Structure 1
Amino acid sequence: MTSRADAALVARLRSDLEACQFSVESLTELWGEQADAALFRGQRVPALRAIETVDSPLATLARAFILGLPVTIPDFTAAMPALGIDGAVALGLVDYAGSSDEAQWVVPRLDLRPYSFIDSHGAGEFFIASDLGELALGHAIPEHHVLGVGGASMTLSGLMVGDPVGTVLDLGTGCGIQALHAARHAQHIIATDISERALELAALNAELNGVPSIEFRLGSLFEPVSGESVDQVVSNPPFVITPRTEGVPAYEYRDGGMVGDALVASVIRGTASHLRPGGTAQMLGNWEYTQTADAFDRIAEWLEATGLDAWIIEREVQSVEQYAETWIRDGGTRSGTPEFDELYRAWLDDFEERGVTRVGFGYIALRKPVSGSPSLLRLERLDGPLGSSALGTTIAASFAANDWLVAVGDAIADARLTVSGDVTEERHYWPGAEDPTVMTLRQGGGFARSYPLDTAVAAVIGACDGELSIRAIVDAIAQLLEVDGVALLVETLPSIRELVFAGVLLPPQR
């Protein structure tokens, strides 16, 4: 999607960005950590104050592309000597403030910033171009807005399983950030979007970051890959639940055009039709709670006929009021204005009409079995702090643990397990007591789960050093507690299975 002339200009752009060290680290050093944190919250004044008297190419690019402010033509020319102003105009990065013959300033037309991360392949950094946000525009964003890297996209990139694969489908690519991440472990990426502008910016970002393995296709949901199958699907789909009411903006980057959470259900079913055996999918989604149905019951129905292994992790639940406020503000409409109140009423009317009381948000991990029927349907609520932002490794390990549990069956009693190195145990005592009143197992990494322990399970875990089988450990504990060993084994094994899936206990040679 990038012409040869554009490719040459993009190469010059990349050269200029690298020459002035346009990186996350350099920008943080330029204006300080507190100003950086304020920018993340959508406030630019601290950063602006920090660089008011700074005259450098880095400060010029920061003012233009991150703070969204005009810069003088001499300053911009000095900051971009290889690309030049005409090249930046040709790429759509800036425009002259007035006629090109008389202008003394250039104004930004795109947001362009560095983005750093750490995944299973190590540290990395991309340059990401997207549309100007509300801060730079000074008003609500338009419906065709192409979003840059935000909290949701960083969450999804962390969920992405990074095992080597052939083909990845990035469904609803937006600015292309997930496709760029996928290129670190996939031979080929198909990136789709309903927005031509999104695909243009995603192609620019692929060229800017030297990633040639992405194929861009225009179309809705799975239409661009009709009849094809892939090894992995990643998607931050346009799942936001928006009233289908006249006057309510339908932003392309977040609104799928369907009623309620039907878009998420559609993506799950479509994934089942396009995954190869052994293929996986990681995505984000919303789901509705109604007056008569729990969201998990509805999700289970979506999954029932797909033939997929499924793991749903709910991270947050909001009231319909909180949900409406969040997404109306996300579009740039400010609280306390007549426009905000009108949109707020439309959202609440829609939820009331359909009997929706709350909305959940979370992660969806799917896998197509290599053969046979699905062996995993797990729906859980984990709303505490996470032990890691890179959860793709955890997801892959848990799917592997599930396969081991299925294969070993009842013979797990004869397995020799070990405790993961990130696990700690807490014990709380009444003053002067010899025995603890509360015992809790805590996982340091992954989903940072905590498990309340009874005496028997705590003793079993404490003895899991790979030397003795679970059966032998339980028999020894039963003798100490003077209880029946067989009954104690039956009572203990469900907890052992759960801890294996969670990565607290590790099977042999994993």
Structure 2
Amino acid sequence: MTSVTLVPRLRTDLAAAHFSVPGLTGLWGIEADAALRRNQRVPAQRALATLAAKLGRNEPAATLARLFLLGDAVPRADLDAALPTLGAVGAAELGLVAADGSADVCPLVDLRPYSFIDAHGAGSWWIVSDLGELALGHPLGETHVLGIGGASRTLSGLMMPTAVERALDIGTGCGIQAMHASRHAEQVVATDISVRALELAALNVELNEIDNIEFRFGSLFEPVVGERFDHIISNPPFVITPRAEGVPSYEYRDGGMVGDALVEAVVRGAADHLTPGGVVQLLGNWEYHDETDAFERLERWLTPGALDAWIIEREVQTPGEYAETWIRDGGTRPGPDFDRLYNAWLNDFEARGVRRVGFGYLLLRLPAGDAPTAGGEAPISAPTLRRLERLPDALGHNPAGLGAHLAECLAAHDWQAQTDDARLLRTNLTVASDVTEERHYWPGQSDPTLMTLHQGSGFGRSVPLDTALAGLVGACDGDLGVGAIIGALAQLLDADEPALAAELLPKVRALLVDGFLT
């Protein structure tokens, strides 16, 4: 039999077994669920054993969880019962298990349910990837295909949901970003340098009945030379790895370049593969060299300035912290091998003058064209957005992710960039529904000593207020134009109206771009 007949059987069996996120949490409880997120399986194993003893049998979902999530061998008869239409034989044909005729079968892959909420609503899939360290019991192999981790969840949450014709996922891995992109793009092209990754990604797409993704083999933009896309997404292999003998080079995280050159290559190559108005979103690392600020390096990557850019640095690590993070990520535990790799990382950073490493999000855009010329082509507008900021602690409450917020901020930026002060003064604005104001008073005083505007969603920003800005924001209920509000404030504060407008309008523009005002 082929996957054409086997995959539908697998899909039917997984659904019938209620092999889902809430289904598994119901089996082993929230404490075991939390332990699994910490890469500890004992609480889940104990919970499933207690359940089996109580029921006198193994539930189908429990069998599948033991096999594919916890990495335990299970009796062939139990797997046949859990997958009644596919069976252990069919699972072996799909490459999911090793069934060599013995009484037990062993997992060859990680297969787990995945649920999410985005701008299009709630969704759930089953995702196949390679077995992780928990199931293997030893460090990962260099060709390991990663499942859904923290970075992939971060990027999918950042993904702007704007409807587009064509999207590109660079370094697709198990295919999760391409699958998310398929919800807002008519066609998705997904690329990777790993044949194994492309095979598993294709299986995931087939298993979840997604039919608008095309997979291509190759590095970065090589598989799409001459093509342009409306949305490019990438969780690239950005991890900075020493080019030294004996240091593992994991395909899922290491692009084979020195330092942060891979992220630089994506940034520099993006403009040639975007349609006017097209957006690139990716995660990345960047290095701080000697006394040079990393943002100076990022500015050079963006030269000659063809792209709008919004880059957010969320974390900065010392060389030691960075080395520890990624050595442990590969499954190497403290000991002689860990120490050897640690020295290799520190030697590399020292030799290249790297004193810190930043991590964050990059959003790049090719500006949309102006009105078409006589020849029918629209000239590209000059970039208007160049925003490099550090937000280590800012994060609001965003159940469906930050993607919709980013899209709204871009739209607000474009509107205010095209709006002169005269028109802005005539515009009626409204305070966003998630915004609150905090005031502090000295005891016994009627006037506040400190006023702050807080954003509940988005990046959870806070903005200090003075009396005039607080008064303006408080009056933005959609009934009066900005100019009328400033005029009233000028009378109330006995201030010069033009001078007050000159002071407040730049602040109003900033509040619009950050989503405080709409």
Query: TM-score range with shorter-chain normalisation?
Result: over 0.9
Q: Distance in 2 between matches of 1:483 and 1:386?
A: 36
- What displacement does 1:49 show? 0.7
- What displacement does 1:483 show? 1.9
Letter in 2 for 1:287: W
Contact 1:313 1:379 survives alignment (8 Å): yes
> Structure 1: any 5+ residue segments left out of the alignment?
none
Equivalent residue number for residue 466 of structure 1: 478
Deviations 1:138-177 (A, max 9, x none): 0000010000001100110011111111111010000000
| TM-score (norm: length of structure 1) | 0.96
- What displacement does 1:471 show? 2.0
Q: Distance in 2 between matches of 1:14 and 1:407?
A: 50
Letter in 1 for 2:76: I
Equivalent residue number for residue 306 of structure 2: 307
Letter in 2 for 1:399: L
Contact 1:269 1:306 survives alignment (8 Å): no
- In the alignment, does 2:394 pair up with 1:397? no
Equivalent residue number for residue 70 of structure 2: 67
Q: Say which is worse superposed, 41-50 or 304-313, in terms of deviation.
A: 304-313
- What displacement does 1:455 show? 1.0
The 5 A counterparts of 1:126-145 are 126-145=125-144
The 5 A counterparts of 1:329-408 are 329-335=328-334, 337-371=335-369, 372-387=381-396, 388=398, 390-408=401-419
Contact 2:35 2:43 survives alignment (8 Å): yes
| TM-score (norm: length of structure 2) | 0.95
Partner of 1:251: helix, strand, or coil?
coil
Q: Distance in 2 between matches of 1:237 and 1:118?
A: 23
Letter in 1 for 2:390: R
Q: Distance in 1 between matches of 2:63 and 2:442?
A: 62
Contact 1:13 1:82 survives alignment (8 Å): yes
Letter in 2 for 1:81: P
| Runs of 4+ with deviation above 3 angstroms | none
Partner of 1:448: helix, strand, or coil?
coil
- What displacement does 1:439 show? 0.7
- What displacement does 1:292 show? 2.1
- What displacement does 1:262 show? 1.0
Counterparts in 2 of 1:381 and 1:50: CA distance versus 1, 3 Å: same
Q: Say which is worse superposed, 123-132 or 446-455, in terms of deviation.
A: 446-455
Partner of 2:49: helix, strand, or coil?
coil
Equivalent residue number for residue 199 of structure 1: 198
Counterparts in 2 of 1:393 and 1:37: CA distance versus 1, 3 Å: same
Equivalent residue number for residue 110 of structure 1: 109
- In the alignment, does 2:210 pair up with 1:211? yes
Equivalent residue number for residue 81 of structure 1: 84
Letter in 2 for 1:441: L
- What displacement does 1:370 show? 1.4
Deviations 1:232-252 (A, max 9, x none): 100000101111111111110
Partner of 1:467: helix, strand, or coil?
strand
- What displacement does 1:413 show? 2.5
Counterpart of 2:516 (choices 486, 504, 510) is: 504
Partner of 2:125: helix, strand, or coil?
strand
Would you say how many aligned residue pairs link Structure 1 and Structure 2? 498
Deviations 1:89-141 (A, max 9, x none): 11110002xx42xx010000000000000000000001000000001000000
Q: Distance in 1 between matches of 2:313 and 2:149?
A: 19
Q: Say which is worse superposed, 483-492 or 249-258, in terms of deviation.
A: 483-492
Identity between Structure 1 and Structure 2 (%): 62
- What displacement does 1:51 show? 0.5
Q: Distance in 2 between matches of 1:439 and 1:29?
A: 45
Equivalent residue number for residue 18 of structure 1: 15
Partner of 1:311: helix, strand, or coil?
strand
- What displacement does 1:385 show? 4.4
- In the alignment, does 2:421 pair up with 1:410? yes
- What displacement does 1:395 show? 1.0
Equivalent residue number for residue 38 of structure 2: 41
Partner of 1:211: helix, strand, or coil?
coil
- What displacement does 1:306 show? 4.9
> Structure 2: any 5+ residue segments left out of the alignment?
53-57, 370-380
Q: Distance in 2 between matches of 1:414 and 1:350?
A: 58
Q: Distance in 1 between matches of 2:87 and 2:93?
A: 10
- What displacement does 1:410 show? 2.0
Q: Distance in 1 between matches of 2:29 and 2:270?
A: 43
Q: Distance in 1 between matches of 2:197 and 2:35?
A: 27
- In the alignment, does 2:441 pair up with 1:444? no
Equivalent residue number for residue 319 of structure 1: 318
Deviations 1:305-347 (A, max 9, x none): 2511110011111111111100000000012x00000101111
- What displacement does 1:409 show? 2.3
Partner of 2:138: helix, strand, or coil?
coil
Contact 2:394 2:461 survives alignment (8 Å): no
